[in-house]
Structure 1
Amino acid sequence: MVQQHNSLQKQLLVDTLELCPGIADVNSGIKKVLIVFDDVNESSQLASLLGKNDQFGSGSRIIVTTRDKHVLNALGVDGFYKPSRLNNVQSLQLLSIHAFRIIFPPEDYVSISKKIVSVTFGIPLALEVIGSFLSDKVLWIDTLKKLKNIPDFEVQKKLSISYEALNYEQQQIFLDIACFFVGMDKTYVSYMWDGCDYNPEKEINVLCLMSLVKIGDDNLLRMHHQLRDLGREIVRQESFKNPGYRSRLWNHKEALDILEGRRGTEKVEALSLHFELRPERKPRFTSGK
């Protein structure tokens, strides 16, 4: 793990130097920088990457996003911002933008739109995903009934309504992305789905229209961390206690334990392995589909 962190720190410094071509090496000048670390779940990751505080110039800003406040406490962060939920007006606008592509719902949809807003509790991701899903008029009343039965804090269950509306191929591609392919080139990964006789171009387009997946300008697959967690939880529930009976194994340790213990079953369709002793190699992905 130390070797991996050192490699990441080196890459961070190299990238910084490339952005500041006037600096030949780390010690020849200290610049003011802005660095963003997204979705950090371990304080040791940041400690290894950042090293000493004096390696960045005065006025530098380091922004960290995390779902675990303890990560910030462990680093001695003296200030943090917790995004507030949207109010009813903002929620209605966001829902309308994704459902109708306009800032306010059509007159015959205003009433039910407000009811949808009242049970999504100002959660932007839920409003975006559900709004995109509700492009079909017949789904509105049924979706409202389902949302009313889901408690405020169970965001994943609210999001799962959209997942359940996908066809089989769309669900499989969604789960593959959630477990393995966030941050990977869409073109490269599509070769595998082509081999499964899926229609990746069409199905990924549907996932994008439903705001379940995004494609960056760099053609990389993107997915909100709560949607990624939803996909992985769906796979985990296939066999909560025995990973060898799950369709996908994305955790290196679990996959390696299954292979070494010969406890895998025919239910395992794909697994990912990453060997930290060879950090220059990309994670190895094996599909049994």
Structure 2
Amino acid sequence: MTYNQPELRTVDVTRYVTPLREGGSLPAIVEADDTFMYVLKFRGAGQGVKALIAELIGGEVARLLGFKVPEIVFMTLDEAFGRTEPDEEIQDLLRASEGLNLALHYLSGAITFDALVTKVDSELASRIVWLDCFLNNVDRTARNTNMLMWHKELWLIDHGAALYFHHSWHNWVEQAKKPFAQVKDHVLLPRAEALSETDEAFKAILSPEKLKAIVALIPDHWLLVDAPFETPEEHRQAYLDFLTTRLSHSEVFVNAAQDARKALI
């Protein structure tokens, strides 16, 4: 059966509402021309387009696996916003981010997930831990869970710190086969009792065809920024090769996560 490639809508920023200063890269709440509110991630911030690529791949892989993730859209930022912003730091960020950026639908009224308040069952905890091991997502700790409770359901946000290998692409093939050492700090690791069952289920979902469809969403011009590859096609193929290699060696990070959990309990 042919897998239909997912599509991301493109919207334009119509109103800059407020910066989210708790984020290191100063994401912002904005309104778009579809009248919805979004959390805008700027390509001119911190880690640049690499963080946006990680956000895109991580979020769409999570969605494919059945997690609740806010809609991800491409968002165009006009140069006019940089001219009218009075805050110099934000002004510089806006000017550096003119053109195509990435945004997530704003979940108005959502509250930050607190593991001491909300108990997560072992199946869901195992699924989230597996996802973050697969994506090398270092940012799901008790200090910063990057999960929200919205309408009594758990939502995953902010995967920009995932796939950290791509900031250098050094020994990336070997990196794909390694355990995820930072799993020991994962906020849900103590509850992740079903990692083996999760591994079997998720490997059946994440076919190379489906992963290729997600990687195909990355805009070509993002793949030309600070790229160690000659063409966007080669760069995109490297992302796919990393993901498929990591998936085929998933027992490595699953076993490491199980060992880390045993050390905790």
TM-score normalised to structure 2 length: 0.29
The higher radius of gyration belongs to 1
More strand by share: 2
TM-score normalised to structure 1 length: 0.27
Whose relative contact order is higher, 1 or 2, with alpha carbons under 8 Å and at least 6 apart?
A: 2
